[in-house]
Amino acid sequence: MLSSRNNVVRALTVTATAALVIAGLGACSSDADGGGGDASSFPEGDINFIVQAAAGGGSDLTSRALSAELEGILGTSIVVENRPGASGSTAMQYVADQEADGYTIGFAPVEVSMLEHLGFDVLPENYDFLGQVMFSPGVIAVPADSPYDSLDDLVEASQDEAITVANAGAGSIWEAATLGLAEESGADLTPVPFDGGAPAVAAALGGQVDAVVAGAGETVQANADGTLKILALFNDEVHPMLEDVPTAESEGYDLMFGGWGGIYAPTGLPDDVKQALSDAIAEAAESDSFSDAITPSGALPTYKTPEEFTSFVESESERFAGLLGGN
């Protein structure tokens, strides 16, 4: 909106000044007309980084940690803007509407592949995906005094009476994961959406529901304190913070569900800009300080190249179309 406008102006000024200097030196430059189109010159101004969640959440934390790395690598300022609201669609539509010049990028959460199936005007094809940076796998957990000690117990018990499973909200990734588990295992599960992850975990702690599907990070401490039993992790490998917890795969259910995040930009970036950004993101995502910043909250630093990430988003979108009703 405004700041991007200011930035375009600033970028233009910088570009124009640079062009004058270069022309004065006798070099030839014809790139004084836009906010960067030349690989060697990108970036020439601040980059806006749009986050779909309010300051302080997991998406915000990842975005700020990554931006701090990117600033050093790209040698420019990165302004993190939170544009929360409407399940993140406000920010996603905003990013899609910006000029594809590389000066507006954003955090692409798992919802970017889900919202279309929930009736929002958010389509993955409106974005250039520049790389995945993290994956935060989900778990299914039960209260400490629950009779179920394994995923199999729970699935079996559900044949007699439906099991109530709390999740973070209608249309959230954890509701989708619950539906996915029910489909894969044939269990009779009743998803109970709460208003956020914390109340959902609290409902399991208080025994109001039989189980909860939540992010690994949200349940690690309760598991360690012995107030919650984590039955399975929805990932193909064991979580470093939950070494005793089996994966759903090892229990015989092929399930991978979690909140992933990457970087996207409006579609149609110039190739050289796209290259510069994705190289920088690759370097930032694999840095130690980025990984140190995001791992305490249960997230796993996970890098995928732009090509891998793009096809991953497509396959996730297809999967959610089936689970969420597909309209």
Partner 1 sequence: MPTPDEPTRVPSVEEGLESGIDTPPGGAYLYTASIGTDAPDTTAQPNRTMEIVVAAVGLAVGLAGILLAQGIELRAETGGIDPRWWPTVLSIGSAALAAALLVAALVRPPFDRSDLETVGAGGWRRLLLATVIGAAYVAGWQLVGYLGATVVFLALLVWVFGGRGWKTIVLFPVITTGFTYLLFHTLLKVPL
Partner 2 sequence: MNPIVEGLESLLDPVVGLGLLLGLLLGMLVGAFPGITATMAVALASGFTLTLEPVQGLAVLLTIYVAANFGDRVPSILVNTPGTPASIATTLDGYPMAKQGRAGLALVISAMASAIGILASMILFTAAAIPIARLALQFGPSEMFALVVFGLTVMISISSKSILKGVLAGALGLALATIGRDPITGDQRFTFGFDALSGGLDFIAIIIGLFGIAELFDQLLTHHAAKVRPISSLGRWWPTKAEYRQSGRALGVGTATGLVVGVIPAAGGDIAGLIGWDRAKRVSKNPEAFGTGSIEGVTASDSASSATLGGSLTTTMALGIPGDSVMAVMIGSMIIWGIQPGPSLFANRPELVVSITAIMVIATLASLLISLVRMKGMVKLLDVPVHYLWATILMFCIVGTYATTNNIITVVVMLVAGVVGLILKRTGFPAGPVVLGLLLGPLAESNLRRALLIDGPVGLVSSPISAVLLALAVFAIALPLVGRARAARRARRSDGDDGPAEHPGDDSSLRSTTTSKGL
Q: Which pair of structure tokens corresponds to residue 173?
A: 């990734």
Binding region for partner 2 (CB under 8 A) out of 8-16, 20-28, 95-103, 223-231: 223-231
62 CB-near residues (< 8 Å, 6+ apart): 107, 133, 134, 261, 293, 294, 299
Hey, what are 262's tokens?
A: 């990457």
Residue 192 binds partner 2 (CB under 8 A): yes
Query: End-to-end distance of the chain based on CA atoms, in angstroms?
Result: 31
Cα 244 to Cα 135, 201, 217, 220, 297: the distances in Å are: 20, 20, 15, 12, 18
Q: Is residue 291 a contact residue for partner 2 (CB under 8 A)?
A: no
Q: Detail the DSSP E strand segments found in 194-327.
A: 211-215, 228-233, 258-266, 300-304
Output the smallest distance, CB 84 to partner 2, in A.
Answer: 6
Taking the complex as a whole, the smallest distance from the CB of residue 189 to partner 2 amounts, in Å, to 11
The footprint of partner 1 (CB under 8 A) covers 1-3, 5-6, 48, 79-81, 325, 327
Residue 322 partner contact from partner 1, partner 2, none using kind-dependent CB cut-offs of 5 to 8 Å? none
Q: Which does 31 bind (CB under 5 to 8 A by kind): partner 1, partner 2, none?
A: none
What's the CA gap between 104 and 110, in Å, rounded?
A: 19
Q: Which does 225 bind (CB under 5 to 8 A by kind): partner 2, partner 1, none?
A: partner 2
What character string, x for contact with partner 2 (CB under 8 A) and - otherwise, covers 49-88?
A: -----xxxxx-xx--x----------------xxxxxxx-
Q: Which residue's CB is nearer to partner 2, number 121 or number 125?
A: 121
* Residue 48 binding result from partner 1, partner 2, none, given CB thresholds of 5 to 8 Å by partner type: partner 1
Q: Residue 69's closest CA among 240, 308, 303? A: 303
304 - beta bridge partners? 132
Question: Cβ closer to partner 1: 3 or 159?
Answer: 3
Give Dmax (Cα) for the chain.
83
Strand partners, 181: none
Interacting residue ranges for partner 2, rule: CB under 8 A: 1, 54-58, 60-61, 64, 81-87, 89-90, 93, 118-122, 164, 169-171, 190, 192-195, 198-199, 201-203, 205-209, 217, 220-222, 224-225, 227, 293, 296-297
